[in-house]
Chain A
């Protein structure tokens, strides 16, 4: 059985097409063979979606093979280690352009490996046009996403990958998990009757958190939202059948016909942004408490 993908970009259709692959894999029998045929274009950060799906379907991994109609798409997946990591290829191609951000899988709560990964990929690595202030805010955001997955998803593994698009001056970075997702987390803890999209909207609202107990919460995702808005970037969340996107300061939502078995958060930043990310009125340390 062939699964011929159309161009995959970081948008509702791209997520939707990859979720459909998940459904095809789930429905295949023990003697079926699946060939995923990659399209002309595949946004490399979307490797996390496919990687998470293949991990979710790992019992059927031996039944799956890949083909490419564009050798450049395969090269990108060799450069970012996606094929090597999944065991589909034994070689890693050197990225002389410095535009790929490696595909990697982390055990839940493995902050040390994730910190090393961030340091390796976001410190003087092919990102010459990014200001120090922007890099700092961006790193803060990806740590917040990782922490959010660790705290809320009950996942076993977390997947990360990114891609720098120098001509567009955009950097996309995605983190996926195979945990309980926004819908199950929010509805079980708040007892609210919400759809998967509404559950994401609830969690992205001001001061909303499913955390309880002695440590406050409810800030991380909102800080990313603020940052992405100021940066004129993009933020997308795909969880269960819900899709939420912040772009150009406005939010759009949509519903997938099937469910992603976890959550993906993608942020796309405008690397040409030279904003300082300090408040106009400086905060004195003694005024904070």
Chain B
């Protein structure tokens, strides 16, 4: 992986309201698409007004069902995330790790069906 693609959350969802799971899904698809194209992702939260766990579960938590922790740590970076929003982001990530723990067979099945660059 060499290139880094910059993804702006507000550009992807068209507003600063990062609240709906469906909008989180749009962000997830952008990230997963970049990962599949062997690109690193810098995800910007500039200009967001609201951020919920429902949004982050879909946008970020879902990645842990398809990509390994090591792969995500290596290839995803966050920008412009407010201090207080890092708290909820960390909880979502920890929850996702726990949710997908011992679900390798599930992850393999997902990869088999829709593909993925799990490292």
Contact = CB atoms under 8 A, between A and B. Distances in A.
A283 B88 contact: no
Contacts of A289: 69, 72-73, 76, 93
B95 A220 contact: no
B62 to A, nearest CB: 5
B98 A207 contact: yes
Nearest to A286: B77
A284 B81 CA distance: 10
B50 A143 contact: yes
B4 interface: no
Given A282-B83, A285-B79, A143 B57 contact: no
Interface string B5-19: 000000000010101
B37 interface: no
Given A115-B17, A115-B19, A282-B83, A288 B53 contact: no
Contact of B15 (A115, A150, A220): A115
A216 B50 contact: no
Q: Which of A118, A207, A217, A223 has the most CB of B within 10 A?
A: A217
Interface residues on B, range: 35 or more
A222 to B, nearest CB: 9
Contacts of A144: 52-54
B89 interface: yes
Given A147-B52, A207-B98, A286-B77, A219 B86 contact: no
B91 A283 contact: no
B14 to A, nearest CB: 10
A223 B19 contact: no
Interface in A194-243: 207, 214-220, 223
Interface in B55-94: 57-58, 61-62, 64-66, 69, 72-73, 76-79, 81, 83-84, 86-93
A61 B78 CA distance: 52
A139 interface: yes
A277 B83 CA distance: 9
Given A147-B20, A283-B87, A139 B100 contact: no
B88 A216 contact: no
Given A207-B95, A289-B76, A140 B52 contact: yes
Contacts of A217: 54, 57, 99
Interface string A136-155: 11011001101110110000
Contacts of A150: 20
Contact of A147 (B19, B76, B95, B99): B19
Given A207-B95, A283-B87, A215 B53 contact: no
Given A147-B52, A283-B86, A219 B57 contact: yes
Contacts of A28: none
Interface in A20-64: none
A96 interface: no
B62 A215 contact: yes
A109 B20 CA distance: 9
26 contacts: A109-B22, A111-B17, A111-B20, A111-B23, A115-B19, A118-B50, A144-B53, A146-B19, A150-B20, A207-B95, A207-B98, A214-B62, A214-B65, A215-B62, A216-B57, A216-B92, A216-B95, A216-B96, A216-B100, A220-B54, A282-B83, A282-B86, A285-B81, A286-B77, A289-B72, A289-B73
A285 B83 CA distance: 9
A-B pairs with lowest CB-CB distance, top 9: A216-B99, A147-B54, A219-B53, A143-B19, A283-B86, A216-B61, A289-B73, A285-B78, A115-B17
Contacts of B62: 214-216
B92 A219 contact: yes
Given A143-B54, A216-B65, A285-B77, 12 more contacts: A111-B17, A115-B50, A143-B50, A144-B53, A147-B21, A215-B57, A215-B58, A218-B99, A223-B88, A283-B89, A285-B79, A288-B93
